[in-house]
Structure 1
């Protein structure tokens, strides 16, 4: 979902369970990329993370719920791959719906907070030519 305005701050949602386990935007993005690519390693690469890190996050997510979110198939004649389970698809859909509801519901407050910042705050400085 595109941000309403590139000049407004972004809201990042992270669920923190009583156990301390977390489900946030990075894990949700990883799930979405696994669903899209059919590969844990490809999903991790597109996020700039190692295969080991992507696998670690998948194992962590799989252990968080009553059934795994990602099912992997080891390589063989046809190669390996991965897919979201029904639970994984449900978790991703619910998380994305919660993101939309939070962003839409908080839009007025986000705008109000941004309005209290000084003009130009958070904008990159203009290019300067140090040779002058």
Structure 2
């Protein structure tokens, strides 16, 4: 959730893996819109391999899997976001809205007074 040059990012961990974050949520939404992992990757400007690796990581972190691949030819091929995937995406988007509300609170404003615009380089 971007707020000027300061923003909050919600990331959900599964052990050492990143189960869900803004990029994976955008990928799920793109799979819904495009009907395939390759189409979603193209829509987001990423390679099929990168999109597939992200889907694979999500599917290994959630039970049941968030994305189902459809084998075969014609109209029945591609991928679809499962019912669990839709529920996870909806919950994640709700968390993003809640994070936006947190960013309006005084504690976040106080924290931002100490935050640099960019890291200091070690030259």
Residue of structure 2 in register with 1:86 after alignment: 83
Judged with a 3 Å threshold, the aligned counterparts in structure 2 of structure 1 residues 113 and 34 are, in CA distance, closer, same or farther, namely same
1:97 counterpart = 2:90: no
CA contact (8 A) 1:40 1:81 kept: yes
Q: Normalising to structure 2: TM-score of the pair?
A: 0.79
Determine the C-alpha separation between the residues in 2 that align with 1:70 and 1:78.
Answer: 17
1:60 pairs with 50, 57, 62, which one?
57
Deviation at 1:25, TM superposition (A): 0.8
Residue of structure 1 in register with 2:17 after alignment: 21
Q: Deviations over 1:37-62 (max 9, x none)?
A: 21111111122211011111111111
Deviation at 1:105, TM superposition (A): 1.8
Residue of structure 2 in register with 1:127 after alignment: none
Q: Normalising to structure 1: TM-score of the pair?
A: 0.74
Matched residue pairs, number? 116
Task: Report the structure, 1 or 2, having the larger strand content.
Answer: 2
Pick the structure with greater CA Rg.
1
1:69 counterpart = 2:59: no
Deviation at 1:9, TM superposition (A): 1.4
Task: Report the structure, 1 or 2, having the larger helix content.
Answer: 2
Q: Which runs of 5+ in 1 are unaligned?
A: 123-132
CA contact (8 A) 1:30 1:43 kept: yes
1:44 pairs with 41, 47, 50, which one?
41
